[in-house]
Structure 1
């Protein structure tokens, strides 16, 4: 296929920085541009110092659609705050139509704007990946939604009557702009729950489970953890009669046998083993008819930018691990 030309809207944020990091080493990517109005003219490393000397380029004030129209394989990653891409959608479409860009542009939106829109393909890579092959409009899942769906989808065959999930996330999940409740100094030595039983990612999870044939009451309590990167989720549920831990583990191993970036580990997974990588690690436990599945992943990696690159790979007909076979750091 032709070499890919990438444009990242909102390249100055954490998600944009991760996209720059992954795509700079991607063998199919020929060029990367990035927008950030408030940082226009500054080099990428001004916001992402770890990319100094590795990723060349400067932030642009606005997208250059005419330049993208010259590409044979243009790809757009929208890494804007929730709601911003949807606001500009109609204007962008008009410009793409004028330039002859609309029919060849592959779009991956990292925000929540189109995740429940049936006109977009939901980009949960490890569930029916064939849906993403050749897709032009992909809605990247939320970070919590990714973790919960990886934990729960294998259970759709058994359809437990109830599931309770707790999941802790790092401060980077709230983005680069701090607020009183998300700023790291106010949470570094604290631990709390938030949006209890009403987090916005529940809708994504419930829709996917229903599509898989399992409509289930979901009790989800997200938590704010004193770490920068990572998600650790624990799902608990009743097991079918006769299912012990060995059976539960074998069930998950079979379900994810062909999914390179999902690893089934002994005991509990560890967040630090996934930090900076595209991997999600799962562990299981069972006792007296009660089951638990634990998931660890990097909220900026498998939960965001790395999964977005996987989506691009599948959409363009590339092996999904292209540019992503890298371990994170250890210890985290």
Structure 2
């Protein structure tokens, strides 16, 4: 198999640093170029001291304005609105682009005006991109891969097996989820100070979170276009995400039936672990796993899902999507534990 060269933009952000750590150890990556808006001209291991000895001391960070088309794969870990400016020229140059921002997740350009508050500069790419939930359908072969958001990853992995198996019986879907503060990025924000978040939990962006239309869009594609409620909370954690999704059906289903839907959906998905009890964030942090538990009572189905918001919810899934795009094993570069297949225990 041919090895590839990768480039990472936004390399010193939380997701960017994770990408560097995974790709530095990836057996099919021969080299990487790093780019940043704010940290150009310095060695990466000086900017990110925990990477000393992991990457070469000669690995320098360049300014994004000097971005070249010399790599094979480009990971765009940039603020919303920036990837949409860079992606067109990279796609035109024949490169594989994996975007970790929200810039290509929605199908309709008009939705960006209302949900992201910018006019999309490349609406033609919205139709050709591949929205790649790695443990569901994954990338479709498009050179532009849109990595799902963290909340959509946890929510869609929870509900899509039900929609696929019994979508016509679903009356409503409601998700209540919480995330560590790293999901907001590294920009200074007084609301995210330790003194504000320690021992504290609060809902935010109620009825206006950008991930809501993304989730609704993908459920509709899968066959459900009904009632959907989505509420998110900040947790007093740096990393981790927990989603509780309640699906109300028009008739009762047995636990055995519903477990069968999830087993069938995830039987060949090495990063999905079906649990016999509700998962805990500590079980998944630092990994690319999604741990899922399903509880059934009469017409109510409850799904509990835990992920690492920076790994499965961002960088780990992006590397997994690269692996799938090239036909490699999904766990390459993502730790040997990724070889464990679905199990109930």
Aligned partner of residue 230 in structure 2, secondary structure: strand
Q: 1:115 aligned to 2:122?
A: no
What are the Cα deviations for residues 174-193 of structure 1, in whole angstroms up to 9, with x where unaligned? Answer: 00112122334321221011
SS at match of 2:92: coil
Alignment partner of 1:16: what SS? helix
Correspondent of 1:220 among 216, 225, 230: 230
The structural deviation recorded for 1:29 is 0.2
Within a 5 Å distance, the mapping from 1:196-211 to structure 2 comes to: 196-211=206-221
C-alpha distance in structure 2 between counterparts of 1:82 and 1:35, whole Å = 16
Q: 1:308 aligns with which of 303, 314, 318?
A: 318
Contact 1:197 1:220 in 2 (8 A): yes
Q: Deviations over 1:74-97 (max 9, x none)?
A: 11000011111223455xx1xx5x
* Inter-CA distance 308–89: structure 2 relative to 1 (3 Å threshold): closer
Gaps of 5+ in 2: 107-125, 339-345
CA–CA distance in structure 1, aligned partners of residues 290 and 29 of structure 2: 25
Match of 1:82 in 2: 80
Distance 1:247 1:240 in 2: 15
Q: How many residues align?
A: 314
Q: Is 1:123–1:140's contact at 8 Å kept on the other side of the alignment? A: yes
Structure 1 residue 263 corresponds to structure 2 residue 261: no
State the distance in 1 between where 2:316 and 2:147 align.
Answer: 10
- Cα RMSD of the aligned pairs, angstroms, is 1.9
Task: Quickly say closer, same or farther: Cα 1:323–1:248, change in 2 above 3 A.
Answer: same
Q: Distance in 1 between matches of 2:299 and 2:83?
A: 46
Match of 1:58 in 2: 60
| 1:245-324 aligned within 5 A | 245-324=255-334
Q: Give the TM-score taking structure 2 as reference length.
A: 0.86
Give every structure 1 segment of 4 or more consecutive aligned residues whose post-TM-superposition deviation is greater than 4 Å. Answer: 63-66
- What residue number does 1:26 align with? 26
Q: CA deviation at 1:326?
A: 4.3
Distance 1:138 1:312 in 2: 9
Asked whether the equivalents of residues 35 and 67 of structure 2 are also in contact (C-alpha less than 8 Å), the reply is: no
C-alpha change, 1:269 and 1:149, in structure 2 (3 Å) is: same
Deviations 1:196-246 (A, max 9, x none): 233111111111111111112110110000111111000012245342333
Q: 2: CA distance between counterparts of 1:245 and 1:317?
A: 35
Q: Which secondary structure state, in structure 2, belongs to the residue aligned with residue 118 of structure 1? A: helix
Distance 1:326 1:195 in 2: 37
Say whether 1:10 aligns with 2:10: yes
2:171 match: secondary structure: coil
Question: In the aligned structure 2, how far is the partner of 1:327 from the partner of 1:170?
Answer: 24
Q: Deviations over 1:30-86 (max 9, x none)?
A: 0011112321222223333321110121211236555x43x5xx1100001111122
C-alpha distance in 2 between matches for 1:320 and 1:260: 8
Q: Of residues 193, 199, 204 in structure 2, which corresponds to 1:194?
A: 204
**Residues 112-261 of structure 1: matches in 2 within 5 Å?**
112-116=102-106, 117-129=126-138, 132=139, 134-156=141-163, 157-159=165-167, 160-239=170-249, 241-261=251-271
Q: Distance in 2 between matches of 1:121 and 1:223?
A: 29
